[in-house]
Chains A and B, each alone.
Chain A
Amino acid sequence: MKGSLWLAWRQQRALVLTGAALLLACVAWVAFQRADMMSFIDAHHFKVCKGWDSEECAGTDLEQAQRLLSDNDDGIVALGTLSAALPVIIGIFWGAPLLGRELESGTWKLALTQGVGLRRWFTARFGLAVLCSVLGSAVLAALVAWWWSPISNMLDGLYWHDGYIFNATGPAAVACALFGLTAGTAAGLLIRRTLPAMGVVLGVVVGLRFLLNTFRSSWIEPTARISQGDAPRENVRSAWSTGEFGFIDGAGRKRPIADACPWGEGLPDLKTCMAQKGFVGRYHKVYPSSDFWVFQWIETAIFLGLAAVLFALICVVLRRRAVI
């Protein structure tokens, strides 16, 4: 490696090698665990099913399913937690010191008065950090998906909308890692101290994740599953229920009153009740599992957009030499 790339490598090699070693350990562990899981599924001719309960999963051996879930869910949750926390870890240990430590220790004055200019110096170090963040987060996100997908959305296991899965896999996980890195870099540049920058990036990434998790369901309209008359409702299966049940009246309007026709001793049955109140059908609002990708791309766009804004800010501040 030559020039500024050598410097970037020399300064980041401890991080790169530590990260690579941890990632390799994860790969080995997941490969072993997943092989175990797959051999169990094969050996017992286990029928994988997507759904909430025994009614939805008729034909699946529940005892075997429980064993599969209890054997693997803790591991997937641990891996998912690591993957979901990776953007914060990258922001703190890679982003914040990337410029923050240089400014704090004054070594930026040494680096920027050599033959290599600011642009190449920054491009090399930020580029290496971006490459490692993207690779690392993509591998971890893929591992989560690889291990989880054979037993995904099954009974009381892990569903696509659980934080351990949604935040830990897919393109949004990679985009979030990129955002964490950029946020850490910007914090280090603007605060000029590594430790406070670490605190800020922790707050920012965790805060943004919290906001996204809170408002995720508000971005797109759920799908209303309609059942005509008193016909039984469609099973939830792998969908994410909004918890909104209701009735449809004669004019086709949705009435979100779940308990308009309660069950009970001495009460009229559903058909009678609906007829009395003028309802012609029932509905249940859910996000089908295909919405996983819609949510993923929305959050990917948010993370990448914010990362781009912060990157532009970093470039402007560096160019104007507003540092010192």
Chain B
Amino acid sequence: MTDPTVPTALRATGLGRRFRSRWALRDCAFTVPAGKITALVGPNGAGKSTLFHLATGLLHPTTGELSVFGATPGSDEARARTAFLAQDKPLYPRFTVGDTLRFGRELNDDWDQAAAERIVRAGDIPFDTRIGTLSQGQATRVALAVAFGKRPELLLLDEPLADLDPLVRIEAMGLVMEEVAERGTTVVISSHILSELESVCDHVLLLKHGGVRLDGDVQRLCEDHVRFTGLADASTGDGLPAGLDRGTVVEATVTGRQLTAFVRGTAPTGDHWITETPSLEELLLAYLRSDDRPTEDTGRDGAAA
């Protein structure tokens, strides 16, 4: 599923992280292509935040390994190339905006003060304002300014749009896209708002119950799947046509006598089926809704760390 000619930003092999007796991530293997925007999708507790913490070295894996451009997460080399915006967008509330940018300058060798200032100015935020008095949207902008001032090659955004009102959401996303397009930054962005990801991301990584459920290029994934609807087959228990390989079915629902199914591969033959290539949002929803689980069932996960 991964194009070997594209350089890799993140590579995981056998990656697992356990919190006491609960596995937040288990036996994950995937690659994140460099220079692309990857959507990290999954229900709450699927291990998205854990993955970000492992990729930044804030956590160590329990099993397996993860590399950032070939380096160990948290090493000097990996830290210099990675910027991370955590879900709660932490900033020092007593610092002024100016102090916050100085923080970035003092703690990073390769710091782009002009870029950071430009992002702050574009939001009309005075530099002497204390962080604690900023609105959510302004704080997100300052946090993004710190992230971009670092000139990262890999930008990790954990739910950057949560808690933002729709206008600010569009503004923040626009800001990210603008900066990323200019520099060819690799981005991994997690979000619940699937429709907002569809228009921006090239690659998708879907986590569920601590495992990788779907991983690949967006366009290819959509083309590899088909959604078909039609009259449910009364002769089979599940309503699916008898000749269909059940292993390819991602999700199937029967409403009244109507069957809607997502399959990987080709649709069953017959002109009584309406077939369509699913959108990314439809496809992700189908995978999120489907009950089947990756290799080992670890029980229902609680909230992610």
Contacts and interface: CB of A to CB of B under 8 A. Distances in A.
Interface of A: 2-4, 6-7, 10-11, 105-118, 320-321, 324
A2 B53 CA distance: 27
B60 A320 contact: yes
B86 A109 contact: yes
A113 B60 contact: no
B90 interface: yes
Contact of A112 (B58, B80, B92, B146): B58
Given A110-B91, A324-B53, A324-B305, A115 B58 contact: no
Chain A CB within 10 Å — which of B74, B95, B103, B107 has the most? B107
Given A3-B107, A114-B108, A109 B58 contact: yes
Given A113-B84, A324-B305, A6 B90 contact: no
B84 A107 contact: no
Contact of A6 (B60, B93, B102, B108): B102
B260 interface: no
A115 B78 CA distance: 9
B91 A107 contact: yes
B59 interface: yes
B8 interface: no
A112 to B, nearest CB: 6
- B interface SS class: loop
Contacts of A6: 102, 106
18 contacts: A6-B106, A7-B103, A7-B107, A11-B92, A107-B91, A109-B58, A109-B90, A110-B91, A110-B92, A113-B56, A115-B76, A115-B107, A115-B108, A117-B76, A117-B79, A320-B60, A321-B58, A324-B59
B271 interface: no
B289 to A, nearest CB: 30
B82 interface: yes
Nearest to B59: A321
B107 A116 contact: yes
A105 B139 CA distance: 14
Contacts of A110: 86, 90-92, 146
B211 interface: no
A204 B95 CA distance: 32
A106 B57 CA distance: 15
Given A113-B56, A115-B79, 9 more contacts: A7-B106, A10-B103, A11-B92, A105-B93, A110-B91, A111-B107, A114-B103, A115-B150, A324-B58
A321 B50 CA distance: 13
Interface residues of B, number: 32
B104 A114 contact: yes
Contact of B83 (A108, A112, A113): A113
A108 B93 CA distance: 13
A105 B132 CA distance: 12
B124 interface: no
A2 B60 CA distance: 29
Contacts of B178: none
A195 to B, nearest CB: 16
B282 interface: no
B60 A114 contact: no
Nearest to B75: A117
B296 interface: no
A106 to B, nearest CB: 4
B116 to A, nearest CB: 13
A196 B243 CA distance: 64
Contacts of B58: 108-109, 112-113, 321, 324
A320 B57 CA distance: 11
B281 interface: no
Contacts of A4: 106-107
